[in-house]
A and B are shown apart, each in its own frame.
Chain A
Amino acid sequence: MAELFAYIPHNAGIAEDIAMEYPEAAKKMDAGAALTAVVTGSGADLDKVANAMTDIYASVIKIDNEALAYPNAEVVRKALVNVLPADAIVLLPHNTLGMDLAPGLSIKMDAAFVADVVDIEGCDGKTLKVVRQELGGAVSTHVSCDVSTGAVVTVRGGSFAPVEGSAAGGAVVDKSADAGDLTAKRRFLEVVAAEVGDVDITKSDLLVSIGRGIEEEDNISVAQELAEAMGAVVSCSRPIVDAKWLEKSRQVGTSGQTVKPKVYMALGISGSFQHMGGVKGNPYIVAINKNPKAPIFQVADVGIVADILEFMPELTDAVSG
C-alpha cells in the first residue's frame, strides 16, 4: 500500500472541517495506513494550521511560500508534485479548490483520479473500491480505481465521520525547500465578496425552505435564525414571494429556482407539484407540517407533524446549543 496524504484546506489558519474527516476515509481504505497531512500556505497562518493538525495527524508536512499565501491551484499543484512521492495516494476535498486542483494533479503525478467519493469500501493495495454518485445524486455507483501508480481522490464533505479531537502528537516537517519553481500561468488577483442579500439558493447544500405555514411576514426571521444556526440558506415556495416576504431569487419551484441541495428542509410547505418540481438531485427531504396528510410527506424522506412556528425555535436552540 502506497503512502497516504491528506491535503488540508484552510482559511486564515483555520482548517476546514474535511481535515477531521480524512482519517476515517483513510481508515476505510486501509485500517493500518499512515496518513500524512499536507498544508500549504505562508507565514503565521500556515504554522497555526500545521500545529493544529498535529493533534489529528501523526505527521504533518508544511510547505511555506509567499506564492502559496492564497491557494492558487496551479501553484499548489506544483508544490505537491515536487514534494509528494510519485506513487502517493492523495486525499483532497471535493470543493471549489479540490475541483480546481485535483484533476491536473493526477495527471502531473501520473496517478489515477476519482472524484467526489462518498464512501470507501476498501483497498487491496492495488485496487481501491469507492462509492460515488452520478446524475445529480439520482443514482450511486461502485467504482474501482487502480492505485498502483498512485491516486488522487477527492472526498465529499460530510461523508465520513469526523475524528474526535485527539492528541496525535504529530510532528511538523517543513518541506518548503522542495517546493521548487512556483511561477504560474494563472495569477490570483482578488476575491470579490458576494453582495449582501444576493444569495444563490441553488448552490446551497442545506436549504431551510418555508411555505405558507410561516403565516406572517414577521415569522420569516424565525426561519432565518434557524438557517443561520444550521449554516443553511432560506428558500421558500411561491406564496412567500408573492406576498413579497422574500425576494424572487429565493423561490424554489418550476416557476422559481431549481435547487440541488443535499438536504432540503420543507417547513410548512404542502409540497405541491409545482414546488417540488424545483427540487432536484434527490436530496434528503425533511418535511415538517401541521397537516399529517400534506402531500409533502409522500415525497419526503423524514417527516415530522408539528407547527413549524413552535418547532423552529426549538431546533434552532438545539443546533446552536
Chain B
Amino acid sequence: MEILVCVKRVPDTAENEFELNSAGNDLDRDDLVYSVNEWDNYAVEEAIQIVDKVGGNVTVVTVGDDESEEVLRREMAMGANNGILLNDDAFEGSDGKGIATILKAEVEKGNYDLILTGAQADEGAGQVGGMLAAMLDYPYASLVNKLEVDGESTIKVGREIEGGNQEMNEMDLPCVLSIQTGINEPRYVGIRGIRKVAKLDIPVKGAADLGLDASTVGEDGAKVKRLDYFVPDMGDGAEMLEGSTDEIIAQLIERIKSKGGLA
C-alpha cells in the first residue's frame, strides 16, 4: 500500500510558554521551540505499521520553509521511506484551502492508496484533510482512532465520536483520513535516529514543479487571514470568590458556563 502522510512543523505546545512580542501582534518567537505536530506522529506511526503488515511505502510530505525539512527527517527516522518538501515563496500565507490545493497537486503526481493527516495542528482547525479529500473526490473520515486494512479496495475505519464512543465505517480506497492521538503508541526518535537519515535526499518542489497557478495559493489565494495574536486578559493569580456559599456557587457556575465548561 502506498501511503502519503501530510505533516506540519509547529510550535511545541508542551515545551513552550506562549507570550506575545513587544508590539503585541505576534507571538514572541525568539524562545519558541518547534517540533512535529503531535497528531502527525500518530499518523506516521499508523502508516508504518500498515506498511509493516501489508507492504508498500510511506511518504511524508509537508508544506513549509527550509526548516520544515527537520520534521520530515524526524518522521523518516521513525521509518517513513520518502520525504517531500513543498516549499515556495508563493505558498506563504496560504489558508487551509491553499495548503490543501498544494497537497492535491502533489498527490496527483503520485499514486497513493491512502492519505493520512493529523486530526489537527497548531491552528486547531482540523481542515486540510477534509478539504484535500473533497478536492480529490476521495472519501474522508476525521478523528480516526482505529484502522483495519482488510481488503484490496476498502478499509475499515473507526472514528472517535462524543462520549468516548466509536463510529465504525467502511471506506473505498483511495481515501483521506485524519488520525486522532491514541490510535497507537508512536515510536521514539532520538537524535541518533535523525542523524541516520541526515543524508537521505529530500526533494523540494515549488509551485512550478507542481504545475500550480501561484494566484490560487499563498496570500493571494487566501480567503481566510489571521490578523493578529492576542492573549485575553487573565490577571495575576486567582480571583478569590468570597461571600456566602450560595453567592460563591452562583458566581462560580456563571464563570464555568462562560468558559464552556457547563452547558
Residues of A bordering B, CB below 8 Å: 17, 72-74, 77, 95-97, 99-108, 112-116, 129, 132-146, 156-159, 184-194, 198-200, 202-203, 205-206, 230-232, 258, 261-263, 265, 280-281, 283-287, 296-306, 311, 314-315, 318-319
Q: Is residue B250 contacting chain A, with contact meaning CB distance below 8 A?
A: yes
Q: Bound state CA distance, A297 and B123, in angstroms?
A: 30
CB contacts (< 8 Å) of B22 on chain A: these are none
Q: Bound state CA distance, A113 and B135, in angstroms?
A: 14
Q: List 10 A-B contacts (CB under 8 A).
A: A99-B119, A107-B130, A135-B124, A139-B18, A186-B157, A194-B163, A194-B164, A284-B261, A286-B252, A301-B239
Contacting residues of chain B (240-263) with chain A, CB-CB under 8 angstroms: 240-241, 245-246, 248-250, 252-253, 255-257, 259-263
Interface SS of chain A: helix, strand, loop or mixed? mixed
Contacting residues of chain B (143-171) with chain A, CB-CB under 8 angstroms: 143, 156-171
- Which residue of chain A has its CB nearest to the CB of B20? A139
**Contact flags (1/0) for B136-148 with A, using CB distance below 8 Å?**
0011111100000
CB contacts (< 8 Å) of B246 on chain A: these are 318
Q: Bound state CA distance, A71 and B196, in angstroms?
A: 46
Asked if B230 and A141 make an inter-chain contact with CB atoms under 8 angstroms apart, the answer reads yes
CB contact between A305 and one of B13, B139, B240 (< 8 Å): that residue: B240
Asked if A141 and B124 make an inter-chain contact with CB atoms under 8 angstroms apart, the answer reads no
Asked if A185 and B171 make an inter-chain contact with CB atoms under 8 angstroms apart, the answer reads yes
Asked if B260 and A314 make an inter-chain contact with CB atoms under 8 angstroms apart, the answer reads no
Asked if B255 and A114 make an inter-chain contact with CB atoms under 8 angstroms apart, the answer reads no
* Distance in Å: Cβ of B60 to nearest Cβ of chain A: 21
Asked if A298 and B128 make an inter-chain contact with CB atoms under 8 angstroms apart, the answer reads no
Inter-chain pairs besides A157-B263, A263-B260, 17 sampled, C-beta below 8 Å:
A100-B130, A104-B131, A107-B135, A115-B125, A115-B127, A134-B229, A136-B13, A137-B124, A156-B260, A157-B260, A187-B170, A194-B163, A202-B182, A297-B238, A300-B238, A302-B238, A303-B239
Q: Bound state CA distance, A190 and B97, in angstroms?
A: 31
Q: Is residue B126 contacting chain A, with contact meaning CB distance below 8 A?
A: yes
A103, A284, A287, A301: most-surrounded residue (chain B CB, <10 A): A103
Once A157-B260, A186-B169, A303-B239 are accepted as A-B contacts, the answer to whether A143 and B252 lie under 8 Å apart by CB is no
Asked if A193 and B165 make an inter-chain contact with CB atoms under 8 angstroms apart, the answer reads yes
CB contact between A135 and one of B122, B126, B160, B223 (< 8 Å): that residue: B122
Once A113-B96, A186-B139, A205-B260 are accepted as A-B contacts, the answer to whether A103 and B127 lie under 8 Å apart by CB is yes
B95, B171, B228, B252: most-surrounded residue (chain A CB, <10 A): B252
Once A112-B223, A284-B261 are accepted as A-B contacts, the answer to whether A192 and B168 lie under 8 Å apart by CB is yes
Q: Bound state CA distance, A74 and B140, in angstroms?
A: 8
Q: Is residue B226 contacting chain A, with contact meaning CB distance below 8 A?
A: yes
- Which residue of chain B has its CB nearest to the CB of A146? B223
CB contacts (< 8 Å) of B129 on chain A: these are 103
Q: Bound state CA distance, A115 and B260, in angstroms?
A: 17
Contacting residues of chain B (200-258) with chain A, CB-CB under 8 angstroms: 223-232, 234, 237-241, 245-246, 248-250, 252-253, 255-257
Q: Bound state CA distance, A261 and B9, in angstroms?
A: 24
* Distance in Å: Cβ of A120 to nearest Cβ of chain B: 14
- Which residue of chain B has its CB nearest to the CB of A184? B139
Asked if B229 and A190 make an inter-chain contact with CB atoms under 8 angstroms apart, the answer reads no
CB contact between A106 and one of B131, B175, B226, B229 (< 8 Å): that residue: B131
Asked if B134 and A107 make an inter-chain contact with CB atoms under 8 angstroms apart, the answer reads yes
Q: Bound state CA distance, A76 and B112, in angstroms?
A: 26
Once A103-B96, A106-B131 are accepted as A-B contacts, the answer to whether A200 and B253 lie under 8 Å apart by CB is no
Q: Bound state CA distance, A153 and B100, in angstroms?
A: 18
Asked if B262 and A73 make an inter-chain contact with CB atoms under 8 angstroms apart, the answer reads no
Q: Bound state CA distance, A52 and B233, in angstroms?
A: 39
CB contacts (< 8 Å) of B230 on chain A: these are 139-142
* Distance in Å: Cβ of B152 to nearest Cβ of chain A: 15
* Distance in Å: Cβ of A104 to nearest Cβ of chain B: 4
Q: Is residue B133 contacting chain A, with contact meaning CB distance below 8 A?
A: yes
Asked if B128 and A103 make an inter-chain contact with CB atoms under 8 angstroms apart, the answer reads yes
CB contact between A103 and one of B130, B138, B163, B172 (< 8 Å): that residue: B130
- Which residue of chain A has its CB nearest to the CB of B158? A192
Asked if A311 and B245 make an inter-chain contact with CB atoms under 8 angstroms apart, the answer reads yes
* Distance in Å: Cβ of A230 to nearest Cβ of chain B: 6
Asked if B224 and A302 make an inter-chain contact with CB atoms under 8 angstroms apart, the answer reads no
CB contact between A100 and one of B131, B140, B225, B240 (< 8 Å): that residue: B140
